[in-house]
Structure 1
Amino acid sequence: MKNQHPRGPRIRGRRIRRPRDPRGRIPARRAALAATATLVLAIGAPAASNGARPGPPAARAPALPGSATPDDGPPCPLAPGQDTRMSEGMPTGPGYSRSTGTVHALTLMIDFPDVPGEGTARRRFAEFFPRTAQWFARSSYGRLDYRPATPVDRWLRMPRPFHSYGIERGSTFEPGYRKLLRDLARAADPLVDFRRYDLVNVLITPNAGPPAAHTVLSVTFSGNQEAPRADGVPLANASFIYSRQDDGTGSFAANGFRVLPHENGHAFGLPDLYTAHGADHAGHWDVMSEDWGAGNDLFAWHKWKLGWLTPDQVACASQPGVSTYGISPLGRPDGGTKLVFVPLSDSAGYAIEVRTNEGNDEGVCRPGVLISRVDARADSGEAPITVLDATADSGGCTREPNVHPELSDATYQPGGHLDDREHGLRIAVTGRDADGGYRVKVTRSE
């Protein structure tokens, strides 16, 4: 694909909120900004069911985040973000879909009288499944059983022409999307019991709207309890997928399905990681930042927030003195520590993880220790996570089209370290084990 853009607006809670992000940038124009701001972060309970309809329990239900206490020290502080639409704070606010156990995703393919379906609806469905479900299974270590039900195996025709909904980039929920969701509910009502599903995927015929190479319309409205109701339940978490991510040859990109894991990430309560001006602070290290190009996963912080890491996989370096940790690669479905968090105050800190080209992370070109800063005060689209670049101004190690190159080699290697003099802190990578894990030493004077 030639160009790709950030996603569209979100809705949370009872009030429609318009994003501060103008949503018109392309990755090639994103500037890598220096990461100098102090961070605010929260560690706490997992993403709960948030009012979602109950489903079968997971085969391996994860324990609650926020209880990791290495060396018998106090737990990491709890400080959910305040006054944000969608933040990195924990616990995740109410209204989102649950992110563990069995999640039933209603998937409908729709077309319009003036834009009849391109190809078959089954082919459109196959562009995203089973790969989306497989991506979530790998990323969650089996803790999310994502089931994409498609009870209507044909194009579901909307009663109005596509242009009548007035949908364009940046469109808010009112009035166009409310009208579209209401029409969809009415059309599907005789065929679908909406009470059986946790979230809704609307796969729109790709000839409706502009190509993704020109602009991206795909959008999620999440936590919206005032959405139209069907079978007595609000369609509160709905993702709308347009066009196709192009691989540059006019064909659907092999990894283009990841637009759906990105959008479903919002349904689970994850924010966008890019900024209002198109700056990229997270690079290709998380699908909530870039969902095109070679495959990528989520930050360890996001996996903790979603309930995919257990307490014994998270360490909290909160005490003065020297602490050492062995960290297992994030892409491996094994035990061991996956995330070390270093709080700076009751609401600030660094996240440390190991990234290799395993699991969903096939695009990693410089395996090593990734250090990022998480800011629970930053809203979606305000760079809530910033990767600290161990090789600043190097130009990166990837040549993948439309992937932010500068941060692709951001990982720290043995002998490398990060100093935060303001907080009397050093994070040093002291070695690499034969099995691919890394050893990290955290030294803090306060």
Structure 2
Amino acid sequence: MPWTSRRIRPRRVAALVSVTALTLAVSTSAGSGPLTAKAPTAAGPVALARSDSHGACLINGGPTVQMSEGLPTPNGYSRSTGTVRALTLMVDFSDAPGSGPALSRFREFFPQTQEWFRTSSYGRLDYRPETPIPDWLRMPRSFRSYGIERGAPFDPGYRRLVQDIVAAADPRVDFRAYDFLNVLVTPNAGPSALDTVLSVTFAGNTDAPVADGVPVANASFVYSRQDDGSGSYPQTGYRVLPHENGHVFGLPDLYTQAGGGAVGHWDIMSEDWGADNDLLGWHKWKLGWLDAAQVDCVTERGTTQYTLTPLARPGLGTKLLFVPLSRRTGYAVELRTHEGNDESVCRPGVLVYRVDANVDTGRGPVRVYDSHPDSGGCTRSPNVHAELSDAPFTTGEEFRDPRRGVRVRVEGVDEEGNVRVGVTRG
């Protein structure tokens, strides 16, 4: 069945809750199969970076969980390491003709998206967008006639649209050469992104249209301009595409019906506007961007001391601690600082969050714990869930779960910005 991705901006939550509730019941986040003639590859690296000591931390969800946070990611998603080729098409309609050169639309997202993934992956993902058709690809029907709404992809409107894209592009495109498809729709098609976010990623449908012998079962659609109303679109508008492509690599939505309240801007799969933000360490491990030596699985009882290096900083060092609570869930601990894709972090420190592999995408599979609840946060970036912006713990502060006997205490910072933490298991 198709899995979709759709985001809710905080100030539009009330108006969209009923719609989201309906669509989540159908299907929520994105998955993919590679658009090549080869057999499907596993998500991330050839094998998850792990050792025997990581066994207890390989949490996993039940077979019915949609886009589980579990490890390893199932087969069927695009590779997230090495070179991936993204077929990128710019599409317009008779009732929404492209304004200006199609390559101007392309440049709204590139090379920024490439650079974002290069930085986040420490250079392990070589993302290559290709535009064999540099002009607007005109669809044979008007945009209105497709009936595109915030519904599940591969509804009749999307099926017609994908079929028309394939028919229009196939004479000039060998679909077997690409790992996934980006469709950059002319931004005057559909409502403003401030009113309704139509952008969606879908995959996993065995009935997907076929081109050059392969199913076009993996595509990210970007509509309108993903502005947050702050006037920062030229700097931040491109980040809707890294979010959508995150689904292509097997990552779930971290927002919920209440918006980004569970994770805030600490992961682009939660909020992709406003303050710059990277991916959580758990996601970087899931995607194959962290080595086994950079992830410690905390299983011993008592208190153990660790030194965390900043997650955004390339190089050696421990980037992620995970405290398994069961075979489904556990606590993750990482150090977030003002660097890399996290350049807008307003309170650096140790981020603690719970990962639940048994929770569907868009239902809150991750929850960040706030070191300063009800403070209002420390960012004033428009439409960002500000309350969690000051969530990290700093020297002398600690996270406690008395019921589980878990404690994470920040002990101090060294000259290089690494942080010492003590983790206690009861």
For the criterion TM > 0.5, the same-fold answer is yes
Instruction: Give the Cα separation in 2 of the matches to 1:267 and 1:51.
Output: 9
Does the aligned pair in 1 maintain the 2:34–2:180 contact within 8 Å? no
Aligned residue identity for 2:60: P
Q: Is the 8 A contact 1:108 1:201 kept in 2?
A: yes
Residue identity over aligned pairs, in percent, reads 60
1:196 and 2:177 correspond: yes
Residue 382 of structure 1 corresponds to 363
Residues 1:235 and 1:282: Cα distance change in structure 2 (over 3 Å):
same
1:152 partner SS: coil
Per-residue CA shift, 1:360-390, capped at 9, x if unaligned? 0111000000000001111011011100000
Which amino acid counterpart does residue 94 of structure 1 have in structure 2?
N
The answer on whether the counterparts of 1:247 and 1:253 sit within 8 Å (CA) in structure 2 is no
Separation (CA, whole Å) in 2 of partners of 1:30 and 1:208: 22
* Match in the other structure for 1:7: none
**Distance apart, 1:292 and its partner CA:** 0.2
What secondary structure, in the 3-state scheme, does the structure 1 residue paired with 2:168 have?
helix
Equivalent residue number for residue 80 of structure 2: 99
Q: What is the identity, as a one-letter code, of the residue corresponding to 1:78?
A: L
Deviations 1:306-336 (A, max 9, x none): 1111101100111112211111101111111
Match for residue 242 of structure 2?
261
Q: How does 1:214-253 map to 2 (within 5 A)?
A: 214-246=195-227, 248=229, 252-253=233-234
Equivalent residue, structure 1, for 2:136: 155
Number of residue equivalences: 404
Asked whether 1:211 is paired with 2:210, we answer no
**CA–CA distance in 2 between the matches of 1:412 and 1:30?**
29
Distance of 2:180 and 2:403 partners within structure 1: 44
CA contact (8 A) 1:245 1:253 kept: no
Give unpaired runs (5+ residues) of structure 1.
1-14, 32-47, 56-60
- Name the counterpart of 2:56: 76
Of the candidates 144, 153, 156, which is equivalent to residue 125 of structure 2? 144
Q: 1:434 aligns with which of 406, 415, 424?
A: 415
Q: Distance in 2 between matches of 1:118 and 1:49?
A: 31
In the other structure, the counterpart of 1:350 is 331
Q: Is the alpha carbon distance of 1:166 and 1:74 closer, same or farther for their aligned partners in structure 2, counting shifts above 3 Å? A: closer
Answering whether residue 45 of structure 2 is matched by residue 65 of structure 1, we say no
The answer to whether 1:26 aligns with 2:9 is yes
In the TM superposition, what is the alpha-carbon distance from 1:418 to its structure 2 partner? 1.2
Confirm or deny: 8 A CA contact 1:92 1:305 kept in the other structure.
yes
Alignment-derived partner of residue 295 in structure 1 = 276
**1:313 corresponds to:** 294
Change (3 A) 1:372 1:398: same
Change in CA separation of 1:24 and 1:18 when aligned onto 2, cut-off 3 Å: closer
Give the C-alpha shift of residue 437 in structure 1. 1.1
Measured in 2, the distance between the counterparts of 1:426 and 1:105 equals 43
- 1:108–1:203 Cα contact (<8 Å) kept: yes
Deviation at 1:229, TM superposition (A): 0.9
Superposition pairs of residues 42-53 of structure 1, within 5 angstroms: 53=36
Aligned pair partner of 1:174 in 155, 158, 178: 155
Verify: 1:402 aligned to 2:374, yes or no.
no
In structure 2, relative to structure 1, the CA distance for the partners of 1:250 and 1:330 (3 Å cut) is: closer
SS of residue in 2 equivalent to 1:435: coil
**CA 1:269–1:18 in 2, change beyond 3 Å: closer, same or farther?**
closer
Partner SS, residue 265 of structure 2: helix
CA distance in 1 between counterparts of 2:7 and 2:348 reads 32
Q: Deviations over 1:286-306 (max 9, x none)?
A: 000000012110000011111
Provide closer, same or farther for how the CA distance between residues 62 and 202 of structure 1 changes in structure 2, counting only shifts above 3 A: closer
1:179-211 CA-partner distances (Å, limit 9, x unpaired): 111110110011100000001000000110011
Cα deviation for residue 63 of structure 1 reads 7.8
Conserved? CA contact 1:51–1:94, under 8 Å: no
Say if 1:247 and 1:254, in contact at 8 Å, map to a contact too. no
TM-score w.r.t. the length of structure 2 is 0.90
Q: Deviations over 1:204-244 (max 9, x none)?
A: 00110011111111000033343111101111210000111
103-112 or 79-88, larger mean C-alpha shift? 79-88
* Root-mean-square deviation (Å): 2.3
TM-fit CA distance, 1:440: 1.0
CA distance in 1, matches of 2:4, 2:328: 26
Q: Is the 8 A contact 1:49 1:98 kept in 2?
A: no
Query: 1:319–1:444: 8 Å Cα contact kept in structure 2?
Result: yes
Secondary structure, counterpart of 2:342 in structure 1? coil
Q: Which residue of 1 aligns with 2:319?
A: 338
Give the TM-score, by structure 1 length: 0.86
Question: Does the 8 A contact of 2:409 with 2:423 survive in 1?
Answer: yes
Higher helix proportion: 2
Shift of 1:30: 6.1
Q: Which consecutive unaligned segments of at least 5 residues does structure 2 have?
A: 15-30, 39-43
